[in-house]
Amino acid sequence: MFYVFDSNKSLSVNDIILVEDSFVEKTSLVYYDPKHLNGKSFTAIDFESANRYPNSACAIGLVRVENNKIVKEKAFLIKPPSQTFEFTYIHRLRWEDVKNEQTFNSLWPSLQPFLSGVDFFVAHNSTYDERVLRTCCKEAGIIRPKIPFLCTVKLARKVWKVFPTKLPDVAKFLDLTLQHHDALSDARASANIVLKSIEKET
């Protein structure tokens, strides 16, 4: 997940969550009827970022779903372009944890088994993950996959009327295991939100 805030203001974790929520409506995928999601192939994505800039991805979790089943999942640490880590207190990652890992550019081929051939991507507050993906691809000279994102915030609000709709709230409502801000755990929870919605509506 990518966090944005005013550099002139000191914000708490709750403030950052509110900023995330304010961008939810910009997701690129507009259909949220679980009947149309049934049987589709998708990959849930969660980025963790080192700092406020969208090129600072330091971890990614990926969970691929086919025919309503999780078929593969993996997390990768990423060496961001800057040593500046502002969000260690959220995801517990430090420069020392990632300095010997691959950059986004060198990691890209390893992501293809998760990214290629799917109908859509899934993320919770998807605008942020979409922005990180778009920015990291642009800076690495990579053509970004032209695959839309589905936001599980919108999906949870439509299917269950869950409010508040932060990922821990939805995970608790659906009895999903979650280690929040662990990239793989967040991605797995997002994938399971979609699967639970399909189960409920079909």
CATH of domain 24-201: 3.30.420.10
Check residue 34 and give its pLDDT. Answer: 87
State the amino acid at position 69 in one-letter form: K
Residue 7 is predicted with a pLDDT of 37
Q: Compute the distance between CA of residue 147 and CA of residue 195 in angstroms, rounded to an integer.
A: 19
pLDDT score at 16: 33
Whole-model pTM: value is 0.86
Q: What residue ranges in 88-134 does DSSP mark as E strands?
A: 120-123
Q: Are 185 and 59 in contact (CB under 8 A)?
A: no
The C-alpha atoms of residue 130 and residue 86 are separated, in whole angstroms, by 20
